[in-house]
């Protein structure tokens, strides 16, 4: 069990399950609610939940140890997350969750490109083929064919 909890694959799959639940629950929750207001409610819940996890796990002292550089990038990431969530909830208020979520996952393609171009990360030919298939799948789902 310890090996499983130390596996990035386990946590990535768990994130995918929760992201799927997020899309379905948000689609129902955004009905009759302005999408920006729905995003604020969701964000408040995330803040309280994440804060509780940090406190309960004894990591609250780590906040003071964040370097200036890391803090800047975490703040920028927070702005990007906020913009992403605002756009996502607007898309959910206008479209089907079954189309919005897969197109949102086009971010996987962008991460692969940016990771390679900006961070120097490398992917195998098979992994790049998978990225291409994700792009094709997102396009097909979004087109409604």
Mapping DSSP to helix (H, G, I), strand (E, B) and coil, where does residue 22 land? helix
Residue 75: how many CB atoms within 10 A of its CB? 10
Determine phi and psi for 6, rounding to 5 degrees. Answer: -100, 5
Q: Which are the contacts of 142, defined by CB distance < 8 A and separation ≥ 6?
A: 99, 102, 103
Report how far Cα 48 is from the mean position of its chain's Cα atoms.
18
Per-residue pLDDT of the chain (145 residues), as tens digits, is 888 889 999 999 999 999 999 999 999 999 999 999 999 999 999 999 999 999 999 999 999 999 999 999 999 999 999 999 999 999 999 999 999 998 999 999 999 999 999 999 999 999 999 999 999 999 998 887 6
Determine phi and psi for 123, rounding to 5 degrees. Answer: -125, 150
């Amino acid at each position: 069990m310890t090996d499983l909890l130390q596996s990035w694959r386990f946590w990535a799959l768990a994130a995918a399950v929760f992201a799927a639940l997020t899309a379905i629950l948000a689609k129902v929750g955004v009905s009759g609610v302005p999408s920006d207001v729905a995003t604020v409610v969701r964000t408040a819940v995330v803040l309280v939940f994440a804060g509780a996890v940090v406190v309960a796990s004894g990591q609250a002292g780590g906040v003071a140890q964040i370097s200036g550089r890391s803090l800047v990038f975490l703040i920028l990431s927070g702005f990007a997350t906020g913009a992403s969530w605002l756009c996502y909830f607007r898309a959910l208020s206008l479209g089907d969750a079954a189309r919005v979520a897969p197109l949102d996952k086009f971010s996987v393609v962008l991460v692969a490109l940016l990771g390679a171009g900006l961070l120097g990360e490398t992917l195998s030919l098979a992994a790049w083929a998978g990225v291409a298939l994700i792009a094709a799948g997102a396009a097909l789902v979004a087109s409604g064919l």
